[in-house]
Amino acid sequence: MNLSTNCTNRCLRIAQALSSKYDVEIVGTTFGVGKQWGVGIWPPLEGMTVPIRSVRGGYMPGYIKSIWKLLSYIDGDVIIACKPRFPSFGIALIKKILAGKPVILDIDDDELAQTSAGKRATLFKKLINTTAYLYTRITHRLCGYADCVFTVSEHFRGIYGGIIVPHGQDPLELDPGKYDRNKIREELRINEHDTIIGFIGSPQYQKGVDLILEAMASIGNPCIKLMIVGASTDDAYVEQLKKQYGPSLILIGPQPLDKLPDFLAAADLIALPQRDVPESQGQMPAKLTDAMAMAKPVIASALADIPYYLHNCGLVVEPGNVHQLKTGIEWLVNNKQDAIKLGQNGRRFFLEKLTLNAMLAVMEPEIQRLTNSYKIRG
């Protein structure tokens, strides 16, 4: 996988859940972002307790040297390949052939949709870039060679089979009782009279951040602000939002993961209005788990398993329906006690189904089955 981007977040959660029972290590490639190939591990991972070993990314054929180094780093009894892409699942399959190691494939996104722009690339570019569409399409054809599949939604399970492993979180770390909302808002210089809609993560078109701002504009209340945490200053989409909706925006750059609870505590509600596009279908936003852990009322698009998560715990709207989004935001703002109850229900749902221990309870039987099966073969 690309250790330079936020896709590492899912891998980290799996590793954290397993680390209470197993020795776990994350191994991957730093491909960087955009033209910054090979530039460092995703900054929010700094200070994490799970060991991380990385190799420098690059184009073929130079990347072959990194592949051999990666193979030497992979020494576990079970390999979990996060995402069906060549630098993760493809290399895991090579290790399976060379060392007889069982491979679990974890799928939390439609990687073919994520890389579809690569269809238009020249053949030369397709052949040298192992993170792009051609290699991803080839790797997808090998999904049947995984010994087990983890997914995040019924949508993906219907396609790939396997079991659902939700995005989990640590209930002690994300405990709303540990954080002083008023103090945090004061440190962030947020007006006490403002209602803050939170969006934590990388703002992208398919995530519908502009829809939130459009809904806010139609409400016309200057005290409702959108706080985006993870906004890059050189992102064209963010710049467009800033230009069009500047006074309604609070923009905060990428933050360490241990600061996540602070920003959630500062928000009054969380909005996740993803568009119904291939990149979003089947996806379960990790930030939904985070919000529910912190007892925040959520309004989100009715995609994948989100309606199940938010039953009596939040509001769901049709993807792309700004009027429904506007109505939902107004209701949450004007019915604060009911909104608080939704958030509390979300916290209870989280404690029952979305903790790291809940992840472990689902994964452990499969890992034990594979371990025993390969021992017998050996």
Looking at residue 43, what is its pLDDT? Answer: 72
Exposed/middle/buried for residue 333 (C-beta within 10 Å: 0-12, 13-18, 19+): middle
3-class DSSP state of 317: strand
Confidence check: pLDDT of 283 > 80 = yes
320-378 residue pLDDT tens: 999 999 999 999 999 999 999 999 999 999 999 999 999 999 999 999 999 988 765 65
What's the mean pLDDT when you consider all of the chain?
92
Task: List Cβ neighbours of 173 (8 Å cut-off, separation of 6 or more).
Answer: 258, 261
Instruction: Specify the amino acid at residue 132.
Output: A
18-68 residue pLDDT tens: 999 999 999 999 986 544 444 578 776 766 788 889 898 889 999 999 999
Out of 32-46, 153-167, 245-259, 298-312, least confident range: 32-46
Out of 98-107, 110-119, 128-137, 367-376, least confident range: 367-376
Q: Which residue, 13, 14, 97, 7, is CA-closest to 367?
A: 14
For the chain, give the percent of residues with pLDDT over 70. Answer: 96
Beta bridge partners of 150: 106, 163
Q: String of b and e for 271-310 (b: at least 16 CB within 10 Å)?
A: bbbbbebebbbbbbbbbbbbbbbbbbbbbbbbbbbbeebb
302: DSSP letter: S
Looking at residue 318, what is its pLDDT? Answer: 97
Instruction: Specify the amino acid at residue 206.
Output: Q
